[in-house]
């Protein structure tokens, strides 16, 4: 379905981003990866699916590096047809204890980077009259939790930005939508599970059960593979008129 097209996925060397990149590659899209840590492993995983793969290590807090990444993707593959804004970080603290520099970092990576990548991707998408912008928000783009002020603010911002971009592209072949996962067992969430277990003297299994039990009625994690399949749907002809939605895959979290 996506043969000949290119997808750039930010924060895609692990977790949700890698799951989405693999799903898009499975539909034939060439992939531009971005992120930290192990790069060769994810590149090999994508290449094994028979598509071309590139990588750019842009620091998503720096607009100039994001611009360089977008130019590099265009130079390598022609243009970015599918942009997945996924890069994200988390910090947990009460508002009065929240370090201002952590607020700035969370907003920069979780919200501002998506704006910069989107504004740079849109001209070529509009010229081609086809494009898909998929913003990985969170159930925290729809509801709040305590001690996550920057993350919740950023993800609500992503959902709002998604709607604006969808309205501005409504008469074109470009769509913009958001995915709002609940708990996904990524390295980011595993750190929260480990911290909960350590703080309370629980086993990892007990910490996991309690984490899910606090918010997610299904008592199961959403998987990166499931999120990848939703991204594939957004890229399909069936989703040509799906515009500006915030689609939660949260095990019933926001339904409560």
Residues taking part in catalysis: 151
Quick one: 92 exposed, middle or buried, by C-beta within 10 A (0-12, 13-18, 19+)?
middle
* Integer Cα distance of 149 and 90 in angstroms: 10
Using left for φ > 0, alpha for ψ between -120 and 50, and beta otherwise, residue 206 falls in alpha
Q: Are 125 and 131 in contact (CB under 8 A)?
A: yes
* Integer Cα distance of 146 and 167 in angstroms: 31
For the chain, list the strands marked E by DSSP: 6-9, 30-33, 53-55, 82-85, 131-136, 174-181, 246-249
């Amino acid at each position: 379905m996506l043969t000949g097209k290119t997808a750039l996925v930010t924060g895609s060397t692990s977790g949700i981003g890698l799951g989405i990149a693999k799903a898009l590659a499975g539909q034939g899209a060439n992939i531009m990866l971005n992120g930290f840590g192990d790069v060769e492993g994810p590149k090999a995983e994508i290449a094994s699916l028979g598509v071309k793969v590139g990588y750019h290590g842009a620091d998503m807090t720096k607009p100039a590096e994001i611009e360089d990444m977008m130019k590099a993707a265009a130079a390598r593959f022609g243009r970015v047809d599918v942009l997945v804004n996924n890069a994200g970080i988390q910090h947990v603290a009460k508002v009065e204890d929240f370090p201002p520099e952590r607020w700035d970092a969370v907003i920069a990576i979780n919200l501002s980077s998506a704006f910069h990548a989107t504004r740079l991707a849109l001209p070529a998408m509009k010229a081609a009259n086809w494009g898909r912008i998929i913003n990985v928000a969170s159930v925290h783009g729809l509801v709040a939790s305590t001690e996550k002020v920057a993350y919740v603010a950023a993800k609500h911002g992503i959902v709002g930005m998604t709607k604006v971009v969808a309205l501005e592209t409504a008469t074109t072949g470009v769509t913009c939508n958001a995915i709002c996962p609940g708990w996904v067992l990524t390295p980011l969430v595993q750190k929260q599970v480990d911290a909960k277990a350590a703080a309370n003297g629980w086993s990892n299994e007990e910490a996991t059960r309690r984490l899910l039990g606090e918010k997610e009625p299904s008592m199961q994690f959403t998987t990166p593979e499931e999120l990848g399949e939703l991204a594939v749907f957004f890229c399909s002809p069936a989703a040509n008129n799906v515009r500006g939605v915030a689609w939660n895959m949260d095990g019933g979290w926001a339904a409560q």
